[in-house]
Amino acid sequence: MKSYTITIGNQTHVIGLQELESPDQFRVLAGGQVYEIKVLAVEESDAQIPSIEVLQAAKDQPALAHKAPELLPRAPSSEPPDLPEPGTEEALPQEVRAPMPGTILEVHVRPGSHVRRGDPLFVLEAMKMKNPIRSPREGIVAEIFVQEGQNVNFDDLLLRYRED
């Protein structure tokens, strides 16, 4: 699922978009909900605004939501946008996975490193943009599954925390 940042008025939103079997059908993750949509027509204008039809809310919403946590809604915060809300450490997974395909440019930790929530773990380059991957929780790194220069796919395992 590719993620896009869009601005409507003065509000910025992050959405996920995945093409389905048909080239005019997509799965969209927006506002914490997953929808399957069909593009009906593109209006003739400078903006090329598509008309869409929502086919159904996807049945696998919880399964998709864990694969793209950066697309779930959260309250405005001064913390980096790719981190979960404070106080949810019990519900966090023991792993960090690639949020998108790309190349690992930097590895900032090693097994045994103690990290705090928000500490940089990796830098992932995707579409010529450097994307920091930060620790979603405090913990000790047990294993690292990638190295600098390695290509990764969406949802590849990057790091595992030591179990407490």
Same domain, 64 and 114: no
**Which range marks the domain in which residue 47 is found?**
2-71
Looking at 13-27, 78-92, 135-149, which range is the least confident one? 78-92
d(CA 164, CA 19): 39
The total of structural domains in the chain comes to 2
Question: For 57-112, what is each residue's pLDDT tens digit?
Answer: 554 444 444 444 444 444 444 444 445 455 544 556 689 999 888 999 999 999 99
Position 137, amino acid? R
Query: What percent of the residues of the chain are helix, what percent strand, and what percent coil, each to the nearest 5?
Result: 5, 45, 45
Query: Tell me, what DSSP letter sits at residue 72?
Result: S
- Is pLDDT at 131 greater than 70 in this prediction? yes
Residue 84, domain member (yes or no): no
- Count other Cβ atoms within 10 Å, centred on residue 6: 10
